[in-house]
Structure 1
Amino acid sequence: MTVVELTKEDVEQIKNHGLNKETVIHQLETFKEGIPKVELVSAANVGDGIQAFSKEEVQLFSNKYDDSKLERIKFIPASGAASRMFKALHQFLTDYRPENTSLEKFLAEQDSDLLKKFFDGINNFAFYKEVLGEVKNGNANDHELTEDEQKYTFVKTLLQEDGLNFSNLPKGLVPFHGYENYSATAFEEHLVEASKYAAKDGKAKLHFTVTEDHLEKFKSTFQAIKDRVEKQTETEFEIEYSFQKKSTDTIAVDFDNRPFRDDEGKILFRPGGHGALIENLNDLDTDLIFIKNIDNVIKQENLETIVSYKKVLAGELINVQEKIFEVLNRIDQDGFNKHILAAANDLLEEKLSVKTRLETEEDVRNFLDRPIRICGMVENQGAPGGGPFWVKDGEGNISLQIIEGAQMDTDDPAQNEIAQNATHFNPVDLVCSVRNYKGEKFDLTKYVNPKKGFITQKSKFGRNLKALELPGLWNGGMAYWNTMFVEVPIITFNPVKNVVDLLNENHQV
């Protein structure tokens, strides 16, 4: 792939987009060369890459975090729209007409468990009364509608622009949980949760990554609930927002790996996926960062275990960080010696699951002086997504990584067997330390493995294209961090991928 393929107009467009020509050329070369699959060595499990804590350790690490004075913030990727949650309901509006057939017959013909669950549990959704009220306001003859017509109108009012337009809301602002006098969005539940483990001196800081289109919705929602939630939690909230930077967008190509262009001949750039958020994470200047997805919340009465394990993860992180800092400070103060080398090797083997034996001061500094992440892992429940594995890189180094299915060569029987034998799953439950032993902030962009992105197939303007996603935030985006995996209870994982997930026990108040 040569520079010649980019015209002067292309280069100007690239510059105006906040990118540089060399980055785009590298992306074009990546499409041409492809991205190699990872080499799995084995699945991590308890005792081999995943720690499991005793009751005594849970209490010890929880107390250690409670005693900490470190600054902390909760980081929540929240740019996702709710449209995917309601995909089946959109199809329902397209396919069903109450005047043509009964809902019962339609559901039987469709054989859709999801739609059946939705209508069987319709009055248990937190948004049920709000939608019902909108239906009555918008239809004076509501009482004359048949039961099937009422349900069709309910879905229409829930989703469409002339109704409540939930499909175009950010997922974080959809009502998830219905309490006695109010309903709570995922956004609000993150505030409540943060008040219980991410607050310091009565203040909790949260950072949400959102789209520019959704920013004002988040701000107005916070203003509407601020007094109630701050009184309820006895916590003052400081909320920051950021957008995925345009400079992290990637070029799209056609199936011949040539730049994909719109009808005016302009290059199409697409968001680089959640891996682009390493830039947003890198902008945070604090000691500890809790990371959790926007849709992974739980009803407030069940928060105790989640709060406990968040503190446990943070406490163990602080524990290991102190040991790392002690080794590095001793080198600065006393010089390098065999006792420090032994301590460093013990630490890497016992806590960081690094199988490389260090031999020099340079080795010790290189392996220990890095950002640290501790990741909760839950037992496999058959959910799609990434998991913890031992992985070998191109230089023969073996390390713990979170690997997505798209990165695995499941056509290889041996690799597929390793993948199938995975015992644990990544729920995106991280605590991160991003300052070094001198108190200086790491440049997180230096710890990304740029070769661990994804190439996917999409479409635009009715034409197929190939898109490049940057290394995932907790995958290749943190490939060279010091990593710990810890088993956490399954109750800490309550994602809402489609609307009927809100009928699960942990979302029903």
Structure 2
Amino acid sequence: MKLNESDILQIQDKGLTTEEVKRQVEIFKRGNIKVDIQEAATVGNGISAISDEERTEYIRAYEHKKEELDILKFVPASGAATRMFKALHNFVDEFNPDKQELREYLDEKGDSSLRTFFNHIEKLPFYTEAIKAAKKDNSDFDNLSDDEKNKLIAENVLYAKGLGLSDLPKGLVPFHKYDNVVVTAFEEHLYEAAKYAESKGVVKSHFTVGQDDKDKFEAEFEKVKNRVEEKTGSKFEVSYSYQDPKTDTIAVDGENAPFRTEEGSMFFRPGGHGALIDNLNHQDADIIFIKNIDNVVIWESLGDVADYKKMLAGKLLELKDETFNLIKALQNDPSEEVLKDASDFLTQKLFVKSLSGDESAAEYIEKLDRPLRVCGMVKNEGEPGGGPFLVKDEDGEISLQIIEGAQIDDDNPEQVKLVKESTHFNPVDIVCSVRKPEGNTYDLEKYVDPNTSFIANKTKDGKPLKALERPGLWNGAMAKWNTVFVEVPVTTFNPVKTVADLLKESHQPVND
């Protein structure tokens, strides 16, 4: 691959090196590497089912210790709301109330979410404001037909002349309305964090946001801060970061040469959510809760969600204590009994299935002395999400992994069969321990599996290109962490992928 002087300067300006760019190009030449699934993780074989009595004990253990801990909630929140409103954009572009009835359009499209949107539009948290904006936009609004009103409302929901929700980051879209109080996903995350991540009267939350959106989030926090602190009785410390340009990846053409823009410069794209391992690597806490920005619940459901978060954290603390005690024992002239305890813990608690049984103390320490995560897993009910599997890596180590569809070898019947045996999916409900026994933090970059990066086909200026996504944050970016899966109920998972999801019962507050 030949690089000119302008290319080299462009690479340096992004904080990258020519060696890194060449390494990325080699990945395109190599192609995607599919994972080697050994088994689907199921209850009793990789996924733990916690009894009510155990759950109570884990909650009690966490609540007993949490005032001594540094606790952080980490929320990937850089996603735009555009995809959430995709069907509504299509409707505004295509529907002409002078030529077609709304009913006919909906029948033609067969889009159940769009039908739900219009059938229950008055229940949306921003409906009242959308009506006001539509009337301001059209003084004759009240005399229009219902179909004309619906199109005008949709336009004012989407565009800057009205509410401009489609141009907002998803975290700042109104998700719920309690009487006359409209609450964004961002604000709901603060209420939720107060339920389980408060320590010594302070709730710490970190949001990864778009570089151009930080000011918007800061303004929203100042707007709601007094309300949130008064309702929760806690103080809040909110911090932000954005994806570092050095985590961008080069795009290539069909010949695996750098894709060139019309101006002749190389084209780099954001490396996907896996790039956020760099953001997570800059956080320092005893316990870090990770949850996506669009997965929030109404106030009435917070207690149940918080209990399961505390349960996961209690489980994490138990495993962390066992891990650290084993490391200490292995470092101090270990007996055969200690070696067996380490082997049993790795195979029975962490489901590492590739041990020979005659590992040395140093080998056991190497496997134990890693970042630790406990992941909630929900039974499959048709919702999207990565699946839990036991996977063999290139070194022959078998461990628990969260696998996305793009990582699966669809041409291998045995792999497809194992995927079909999967019973659960990952709702991004993760509790992490990133501190070493001596108190400093792990360098999380060392625990990424670079082979799990993914090549995707995209376009730029109407021309096809190949894009490289870094190993996913909870997939390959955490591949070499110690991992435990715990079953949690589907009631803890309430994502908003389309605007119609806001009309589900789980997002409709019970107002007085």
Report the TM-score range of the alignment, normalised by the length of the smaller protein: over 0.9
Distance in 1, matches of 2:176 and 2:126, equals 8
For the pair 1:63 / 2:64, whether they are aligned, the reply is: no
Q: Quote the residue 1:338 is aligned against.
A: 336
- Relative to the length of structure 1, the TM-score reads 0.98
- Decide whether the 8 Å contact of 1:358 with 1:364 is kept in 2: no
Distance in 2, matches of 1:110 and 1:359, equals 60
Q: CA deviation at 1:348?
A: 1.0
Q: CA deviation at 1:232?
A: 0.5
Q: CA deviation at 1:183?
A: 1.3
Equivalent runs, 1:78-93 vs 2, <5 Å: 78-93=77-92
For the pair 1:47 / 2:44, whether they are aligned, the reply is: yes
Q: CA deviation at 1:343?
A: 1.6
Equivalent runs, 1:152-171 vs 2, <5 Å: 152-171=151-170
Q: Quote the residue 1:264 is aligned against.
A: 263
Distance in 1, matches of 2:424 and 2:358, equals 29
Q: Which amino acid aligns with 2:372?
A: I
Residue 430 of structure 1 aligns to a residue whose secondary structure is: strand
Distance in 2, matches of 1:494 and 1:234, equals 26
Equivalent runs, 1:246-257 vs 2, <5 Å: 246-257=245-256
Q: Which amino acid aligns with 1:91?
A: N
Q: Quote the residue 2:435 is aligned against.
A: 435
Q: Structure 2 vs 1, CA of residues 181 and 162 (structure 1 numbering), >3 Å: closer, same or farther? A: closer
Residue 450 of structure 2 aligns to a residue whose secondary structure is: coil
- Decide whether the 8 Å contact of 2:330 with 2:365 is kept in 1: no
Q: 1:29 aligns with which of 26, 29, 33?
A: 26
Q: Quote the residue 1:361 is aligned against.
A: 361
Distance in 2, matches of 1:374 and 1:508, equals 30
Distance in 2, matches of 1:481 and 1:353, equals 12
Q: Which amino acid aligns with 1:335?
A: D
Q: Quote the residue 2:98 is aligned against.
A: 99
Distance in 1, matches of 2:469 and 2:188, equals 30
Residue by residue, what CA displacement relative to the aligned partner does 1:33-53 show, whole Å, maximum 9, x if unpaired?
112111111100000000011
Runs of 4+ in 1 over 6 A off after TM superposition: none
- Decide whether the 8 Å contact of 2:197 with 2:204 is kept in 1: yes
Residue 132 of structure 2 aligns to a residue whose secondary structure is: helix
User: What CA RMSD, in Å, does the superposition of the two structures yield over aligned residues?
Assistant: 1.1
- Decide whether the 8 Å contact of 1:73 with 1:204 is kept in 2: yes
Q: Which amino acid aligns with 1:341?
A: L
Q: CA deviation at 1:111?
A: 2.5
Q: CA deviation at 1:122?
A: 0.2
Q: CA deviation at 1:358?
A: 5.3
For the pair 1:373 / 2:370, whether they are aligned, the reply is: no
Q: Quote the residue 2:286 is aligned against.
A: 287
- Decide whether the 8 Å contact of 1:352 with 1:484 is kept in 2: yes
Residue by residue, what CA displacement relative to the aligned partner does 1:383-412 show, whole Å, maximum 9, x if unpaired?
233110011112322111000000001221
Structure 2 gaps, min length 5 = none
Distance in 2, matches of 1:57 and 1:169, equals 42
Residue 496 of structure 1 aligns to a residue whose secondary structure is: coil
For the pair 1:456 / 2:456, whether they are aligned, the reply is: yes
Q: Which moved more, 1:149-158 or 1:213-222?
A: 213-222
Q: Which amino acid aligns with 1:171?
A: K
Q: Structure 2 vs 1, CA of residues 110 and 35 (structure 1 numbering), >3 Å: closer, same or farther? A: closer
Distance in 2, matches of 1:452 and 1:350, equals 26
- Decide whether the 8 Å contact of 1:74 with 1:205 is kept in 2: yes
Q: Which moved more, 1:376-385 or 1:186-195?
A: 376-385
Residue by residue, what CA displacement relative to the aligned partner does 1:142-176 show, whole Å, maximum 9, x if unpaired?
12222111110000001012221110101111111
Q: CA deviation at 1:112?
A: 2.3
Residue 212 of structure 2 aligns to a residue whose secondary structure is: helix
Q: Which moved more, 1:456-465 or 1:104-113?
A: 104-113
- Decide whether the 8 Å contact of 1:306 with 1:492 is kept in 2: yes
Q: Which amino acid aligns with 1:507?
A: H
Q: Which moved more, 1:272-281 or 1:10-19?
A: 10-19
Q: CA deviation at 1:436?
A: 0.9
Q: Quote the residue 2:314 is aligned against.
A: 315
Q: Quote the residue 1:415 is aligned against.
A: 415
For the pair 1:128 / 2:127, whether they are aligned, the reply is: yes
Distance in 1, matches of 2:402 and 2:26, equals 26
For the pair 1:300 / 2:299, whether they are aligned, the reply is: yes
Q: Which amino acid aligns with 1:339?
A: E
Distance in 1, matches of 2:264 and 2:9, equals 13
